[in-house]
Structure 1
Amino acid sequence: MALAPAAAMAAPGDSALIAQCLHRLAVQQLRKDSFYYAGMFRTYRTWAASPGTLREDNAIFYTGLIVFTLRQLEPLLTEGERAVCDSIVTRALKAYPYFRNANGRPTFNFWPTDHPVFFPNATVLSRFRRSKQITDDLDDTSILWLGAGIPDSTARRLQVLMDAHAAGPGHRANSTYRAVRDLPAYSAWFGIRTPIELDAGVVANVLYFLRDRGLTPDAHDSASVRFLAYVVQKRKYWTDPAFASTYYPRTPVLLYHLARFMGRFPDLDAYRGQVKADLREAMAGAKDGMDRVILGTSLLRLGDTAGLRALSPRLGVAHGVGARPDDGASPDALSPEDDPFLFYIANIASLFPNPIRRMALHNPLFIYHFYSPAYNDALLLEYLVLRRAAATGG
């Protein structure tokens, strides 16, 4: 297929921007233990009811996403780019043990497990003792193992644990759509006392992990695919994203998760044309530069060259799209206020059964936004690398 003129222009300029993104990631990576562990990237949290107040949060989530993203991109990088990428990954992996289950189980937590704190730096929430024992979750566990690599025997053991905490008889998913409430799909949590919660973004990540490791599909696996198929077929990512995916509640972000899974695995191929059409429509109406980045990435993952036109080839100097202070700036100078791109949230209402969950889902009292300037750079890097590969036939 002949590439559009914009595609032919992209590759040379993109290589320079790729180098800039990698450099910015390296600059932002923490070298010393403090509130964070060495190798992590800063995360900021804000309460939706008080959006002007930013608090630092030492969750591993965004660091894990950055490592996973870099691992995916490695085969498409030049030798010099790969060297920078590998150095970032090597440093980041040293922080992972602090978030692994304290009892030796191969699961990970959102927050450190050596000194558990619920919502660190929070005035009130961090004081709750029982909440300091927050359970490990399937999303962080899948993302971190995808970046770290996992032995086959450990992966099989983890699949058994995932199955044991999935929905099933006596563990109905009462907080999701009635049509899929009885599916024995994967829940978001490993906790025994935690309600079963089906989240389309989380399920897509869990299935990606299981497929990536070549684990044998079982009843929970196939039920999870049926859950995603329902969300896609009914276009819930468009009409009802916050209910379909509490943690990734915006249409561009949920489409990004679905496209990442669909771009590599064939389970939802029946809906490929529909998703590509909706991605194009979403990109045409997107106002935020980072939304256009992830929508463009999603189109490229599905083989649609419309993704090549998500942003100008000179996007690295565009305001609000990966824009940062000078490359030599200290990480202390970086702030999500440069581009407060909302990728992930925590919503306490997600633990409520219906119809309470539906009514409370958009209440700012229950919602916490999590930002990471470094992850913005990783997303921009991902788009640039995929665009260069598509433009050059790589």
Structure 2
Amino acid sequence: METTEILLKIREIQKNADKKFFNQGIFPSYRQNILTRRKIADDNIFFSASILYILDSYTHLYNEKELKIYSDIKKEVTQNFDFYTNKPNRNSFNFWRKENGKHFPNGPVFSKLAKFKLPDDIDTTSLIQLCKKPPYKYALKTKQAIPNHANTVKLKIKNGHKSLQHLKAYSTWFGNNMPIEFDVCVLSNLFLWINEYNFDLNQHDLDSLKLLETTICESLYFKSPFHSSPEYPNASIILYHLARLIAKTNYLNKYRSKLVGDIIKLKNQTKDAFQLLILNSSLSKLGIYTNNANTNELMPNLSNHWWFTAGLLSIYGNSIIQKIAPWSIFHFRFVCPALNLSLLLENKLIAVPNLKTK
């Protein structure tokens, strides 16, 4: 499948989204728990922003037809952004719409319980602002609000890797009463945004970078992907986010070689086509070129691979709960076919075929 064909397929998914579940322009995604096996349509803005950010990154490589397809996709996605924010004092965004009953959409239980409503998060906020590219003053409001929700400011983290709990790093969540949670992928996306606006770095920024540095130096994503990234608890996905950050900024450049070594190590241990796609793209971002993904092997199951997780127990600090929190029975796995196609498109655009990894 060539790049134009992939872009057309992404656009087709967007146009044909079931209007009963998804607003016009939203890319369909679904959540599923291994116990119920039920696939539930999930109207969130996170995946649409994630797709658009990937597509935005390669406009310089598109031909005229591809630029037109991309432009149509972007127009329909961006018209939805404001439906997922209601905090102009900090210009932050939420995974789901903020109206009552919009959390865990189409769910028979969680959507009825207010305790499962999520506060705004720095992941969705960073990705949307990277796509939206608002003025500096707009983004600065957000930057000034984030430290209010960092570790030790009001609350102290009680989960994750114990060796990182002393850091005054940023939590994933804006909520005043939401427990602190560290997530390597979320912080990687945050620093893409910080780099975009060239913000001065405060103590919380420096500690957040220290968290990322320690994660790479100690390969914590191999020890426990869940405790490194409760929202993206998969080592391949974590390595992808870190590689993208290093490729686009100078923040962690001195750890490039270490990260390359870890990516190659994991690549040599996996046979899963989707994981290999992500790892190959990660290497390409860091200047190490390998064979393109085996599209024929990947395509039949491409739409089934999850990218994001809602861990129902991830924020709790109780030692017993922390032991069982990584169990998949307590997770909702989120799948977005269009995102997986975007990752395939990215691989086609940046991976150089017929070269062996050094």
Per the TM superposition, whether the score is higher than 0.5 is yes
On the 8 A contact 1:171/1:196 being kept in 2, the answer is: yes
* Counterpart Cα distance in 1 of 2:241 and 2:145: 23
SS at match of 1:45: strand
* Structure 1 residue 49, shift from structure 2 partner: 2.4
TM-superposition CA deviations, 1:264-284 (whole Å, max 9, x none):
222222221121112122222
Runs of 4+, deviation exceeding 6 Å: none
On the 8 A contact 1:183/1:223 being kept in 2, the answer is: yes
Q: Please, which moves more after superposition, 25-34 or 272-281? A: 25-34
Taking CA–CA contacts closer than 8 Å with sequence separation of 6 or more, which of the two structures ends up with the larger relative contact order? 1
* Counterpart Cα distance in 2 of 1:34 and 1:269: 46
| Structure 2 partner of 1:49 | 35
Unaligned 5+ segments in structure 1 are 1-15, 324-336
SS at match of 2:51: helix
* Counterpart Cα distance in 1 of 2:157 and 2:100: 31
| Structure 2 partner of 1:340 | 304
| Structure 2 partner of 1:311 | 293
Q: Does 1:258 align with 2:242?
A: yes
TM-superposition CA deviations, 1:38-64 (whole Å, max 9, x none):
1011011101322x2111110111111
TM-superposition CA deviations, 1:138-160 (whole Å, max 9, x none):
11111111111121001111101
SS at match of 1:41: coil
| Structure 2 partner of 1:202 | 186
On the 8 A contact 2:303/2:335 being kept in 1, the answer is: no
* Counterpart Cα distance in 1 of 2:204 and 2:262: 28
* Structure 1 residue 31, shift from structure 2 partner: 6.4
* Counterpart Cα distance in 2 of 1:226 and 1:92: 34
* Counterpart Cα distance in 2 of 1:39 and 1:101: 20
| Structure 1 partner of 2:20 | 34
TM-superposition CA deviations, 1:154-186 (whole Å, max 9, x none):
111110111111113452222132322121111
Q: Does 1:93 align with 2:73?
A: no
* Structure 1 residue 77, shift from structure 2 partner: 1.9
On the 8 A contact 2:292/2:351 being kept in 1, the answer is: no
| Structure 2 partner of 1:328 | none
Query: Which aligned pairs between 1:73-88 and structure 2 lie closer than 5 A?
Result: 73-88=58-73
On the 8 A contact 1:245/1:254 being kept in 2, the answer is: yes
On the 8 A contact 1:45/1:368 being kept in 2, the answer is: yes
* Structure 1 residue 89, shift from structure 2 partner: 0.8
SS at match of 1:196: coil
* Counterpart Cα distance in 1 of 2:216 and 2:114: 39
Q: 1:105 to 1:154 in 2, by over 3 A?
A: same
Percent identity of equivalent pairs: 26
* Counterpart Cα distance in 2 of 1:169 and 1:93: 34
On the 8 A contact 1:185/1:221 being kept in 2, the answer is: yes
| Structure 1 partner of 2:46 | 61
Q: Please, which moves more after superposition, 272-281 or 64-73? A: 272-281
* Counterpart Cα distance in 2 of 1:78 and 1:357: 51
Q: Does 1:292 align with 2:276?
A: yes
| Structure 1 partner of 2:10 | 25
Give the TM-score taking structure 2 as reference length.
0.93
| Equivalent of residue 350 in structure 1, options 306, 314, 322 | 314
* Structure 1 residue 259, shift from structure 2 partner: 0.5
| Equivalent of residue 344 in structure 2, options 355, 366, 380 | 380
* Counterpart Cα distance in 2 of 1:81 and 1:388: 20
SS at match of 1:343: strand
* Structure 1 residue 348, shift from structure 2 partner: 1.5
* Counterpart Cα distance in 2 of 1:76 and 1:202: 27
Q: 1:78 to 1:389 in 2, by over 3 A?
A: farther
Q: 1:108 to 1:116 in 2, by over 3 A?
A: farther
| Structure 2 partner of 1:360 | 324
SS at match of 2:351: helix
SS at match of 1:285: coil
* Counterpart Cα distance in 1 of 2:184 and 2:79: 30
The one-letter code sitting in structure 2 at the alignment partner of 1:196 is: I
* Structure 1 residue 346, shift from structure 2 partner: 0.5
* Counterpart Cα distance in 2 of 1:348 and 1:281: 31
| Structure 1 partner of 2:259 | 275
The one-letter code sitting in structure 1 at the alignment partner of 2:286 is: L
On the 8 A contact 1:295/1:310 being kept in 2, the answer is: no
CA RMSD, 1 decimal: 2.1
On the 8 A contact 1:256/1:294 being kept in 2, the answer is: yes
On the 8 A contact 1:102/1:113 being kept in 2, the answer is: no
| Structure 2 partner of 1:334 | none
The one-letter code sitting in structure 1 at the alignment partner of 2:267 is: M
SS at match of 1:345: strand
The one-letter code sitting in structure 1 at the alignment partner of 2:21 is: F
SS at match of 2:280: helix
The one-letter code sitting in structure 1 at the alignment partner of 2:55 is: L
